Structure 1
Amino acid sequence: MNTVLFDLDGTLLPMDMKEFTDTYMLLLKSHLESAGYEAEKIIAGIWIGQKAMIENNGMLTNEECFWKAFENFMTDGNGKMETKVKRKLEKEIIKFYKEDFGVARYVTSPSNIVSECIHILKEKGYQLVVATNPIFPEIAIYERMAWAGVDTEDFSLITTYENSCYTKPNPEYYKYLLKVLYKDPDDCLMVGNDVKEDMSAKHLGIDVFLLEGNVIEDLNTDISEIKRGNWSVFKEYVSNLPNLNR
């Protein structure tokens, strides 16, 4: 094993996913209403777009897939929004991420031990990847990484909705990672807190580690044989990994 894939929400950035999502949506709703938009319809469209990304068959990027479904919903089935209307909304959403999204960091629980583990792995020569579910734009993912206290430069790949064509737990998402990283399954370890989305990597032969603390359960998945533990246990685990630089 020479490559560690990390989930972001609930893993690199400890959080209660429901609390975070609720806060995020309230902040977005408030921002859009202040800007004069019909916030409830836009948020409904965002959920439609997210569903489309989850069902993406790889023919479009997740970004393209999102906007296709979102625009169709916003135009009541007429396909595309007017270009200037779409661009104005895109600018407003970017403004939201730059100005208001940061308030949501207060419902997350960043921990110094996360950056300590990243440092240990980097020092030992392991390749690191942020394998977050790519349903957010890069600006939102990079912002949450900053909250977690991890440097984007430490990771050779960060999956976003701009650079991905699949989402977790679709096995094609992990096949895509292996392809772009030029890795075999036994080269990799997937670390995450979501049993269904993250631990499904094991079906491709990728080793997995269930990060406890904010576990999202899946009653249909047997986790009895899966490595698991909190960040302290994971730190001990990575401290005992071989140094690849020797």
Structure 2
Amino acid sequence: MLKAVVFDMDQTLLDINLSAFIAVLAKEESALLADIGRRNPLSMFAAYTAALLDVNRAERDNTCTNRELFDAAIERRGGVVLSDPVIADALTYYEREILPGRNDAIIDAHPMKGAAKAIEAVLSRGLRIALLTNPSFGAACIECRMGWGQLLDVPFELVTTMENTRRVKPNPEYYTDALDELGLKPSEVLMVGNDRQRDFPTPDIGLQTAFVGRGTPVRATWCGRMDQFAESFDEIEQRFYKRAERNLIDLVQEV
């Protein structure tokens, strides 16, 4: 039974030039860290981007959170201790007070067309919702982008961030950890996302995905634009249950 719909954020609920956003974030935060730690700005920028890459490796063996992994990488590569409360507060201040003003014509972040109606359609059916954005950033940074997308008042039961995750997409542990937190099984949830690599758990864990990006991935339960999602939700539900029934039949035959 479908109990919840979980959404990706960037290019799903939020229309954004994500590459430009990451470039601004990495440049300004690494410059801030270089100033605080009295380090070379170029070497700190290299350390910062390498730490981001460390976090975004889907396959890795760790028990710590993504935040702890990122902080340790910055300390190892750049010599700055992000767990120091003073430094942590400086970064949080930047992400809460300065970063929201960086939304310029290049980043161009705004609500995705159809996103509000999609959320309304899901909630009107009594389904639960969560925001399963790739947790490459801290909570304050994610909340900044949620603000740009007018998502801060949406009743998401969970928003994945660096602080509350141990993996990133498409690692299945990222998804199972989030669904465990919600008390849900993969078979009870529909993922909505635009990324043909990240928004499908790899390997498959039985989590269906409505794809709102370009193309028609074979694993997608439904493909279309975000602005078509709400008006197509009856069809999406039907496809969800048909695929769930087919998966059950396949499982029984294998047994």
TM-score, length-normalised on structure 1? 0.80
User: What pairs up with 1:219-234 in 2 under 5 angstroms?
Assistant: 223-224=217-218, 226=220, 227-234=222-229
The alpha-carbon distance between structure 1 residues 82 and 192, as it changes in their structure 2 partners (threshold 3 A), is closer
Cα distance in 2, alignment partners of residues 235 and 37 from structure 1? 50
Deviates more, 1:181-190 or 1:107-116: 107-116
Could you report, residue by residue, the CA deviation over 1:169-227 in whole angstroms, capped at 9, with x for unpaired residues? Answer: 11111111222222122211111111111123681111101113xx5x8xxxx813522
Contact 2:193 2:212 in 1 (8 A): yes
Alignment length (residue pairs): 229
Amino acid at match of 1:231: M
Cα distance in 2, alignment partners of residues 205 and 110 from structure 1? 29
Which residue does 2:98 correspond to in 1? Answer: 100
Please give the secondary structure, in 1, of the residue aligned with 2:22.
Answer: helix
Cα distance in 1, alignment partners of residues 207 and 64 from structure 2? 26
Could you report, residue by residue, the CA deviation over 1:66-118 in whole angstroms, capped at 9, with x for unpaired residues? Answer: 1111101123xxxx7497xx443322212211232113433223246312221
Please give the secondary structure, in 1, of the residue aligned with 2:14.
Answer: coil
Which residue does 1:43 correspond to in 2? Answer: 45
Cα distance in 1, alignment partners of residues 44 and 91 from structure 2? 11
Could you report, residue by residue, the CA deviation over 1:143-193 in whole angstroms, capped at 9, with x for unpaired residues? Answer: 211111113551111111111111111111111122222212221111111
The alpha-carbon distance between structure 1 residues 42 and 33, as it changes in their structure 2 partners (threshold 3 A), is closer
Which residue does 1:115 correspond to in 2? Answer: 116
Cα distance in 2, alignment partners of residues 90 and 171 from structure 1? 30
Please give the secondary structure, in 1, of the residue aligned with 2:9.
Answer: coil
Which residue does 1:188 correspond to in 2? Answer: 189
Amino acid at match of 2:164: N
The alpha-carbon distance between structure 1 residues 39 and 235, as it changes in their structure 2 partners (threshold 3 A), is farther
Cα distance in 2, alignment partners of residues 154 and 82 from structure 1? 31
Cα distance in 2, alignment partners of residues 68 and 111 from structure 1? 35
C-alpha deviation, 1:6, in angstroms: 0.7
Which residue does 1:90 correspond to in 2? Answer: 88
Cα distance in 1, alignment partners of residues 82 and 189 from structure 2? 44
Could you report, residue by residue, the CA deviation over 1:4-34 in whole angstroms, capped at 9, with x for unpaired residues? Answer: 1111112111123223322333444566678
Aligned alpha-carbon RMSD (Å): 2.8
Which residue does 1:20 correspond to in 2? Answer: 21
Cα distance in 2, alignment partners of residues 142 and 20 from structure 1? 14
Which residue does 1:5 correspond to in 2? Answer: 6
Please give the secondary structure, in 2, of the residue aligned with 1:135.
Answer: coil
C-alpha deviation, 1:236, in angstroms: 1.3
Contact 1:145 1:152 in 2 (8 A): no
Contact 1:32 1:38 in 2 (8 A): no
Which residue does 1:142 correspond to in 2? Answer: 143
Cα distance in 2, alignment partners of residues 137 and 41 from structure 1? 22
The alpha-carbon distance between structure 1 residues 22 and 49, as it changes in their structure 2 partners (threshold 3 A), is closer
Which residue does 2:69 correspond to in 1? Answer: 65
Cα distance in 2, alignment partners of residues 64 and 189 from structure 1? 29
Point out where structure 1 has 5 or more consecutive residues left out of the alignment: none
Could you report, residue by residue, the CA deviation over 1:44-67 in whole angstroms, capped at 9, with x for unpaired residues? Answer: 222232233234534101111111
Deviates more, 1:164-173 or 1:21-30: 21-30
The alpha-carbon distance between structure 1 residues 192 and 82, as it changes in their structure 2 partners (threshold 3 A), is closer
Please give the secondary structure, in 1, of the residue aligned with 2:25.
Answer: helix
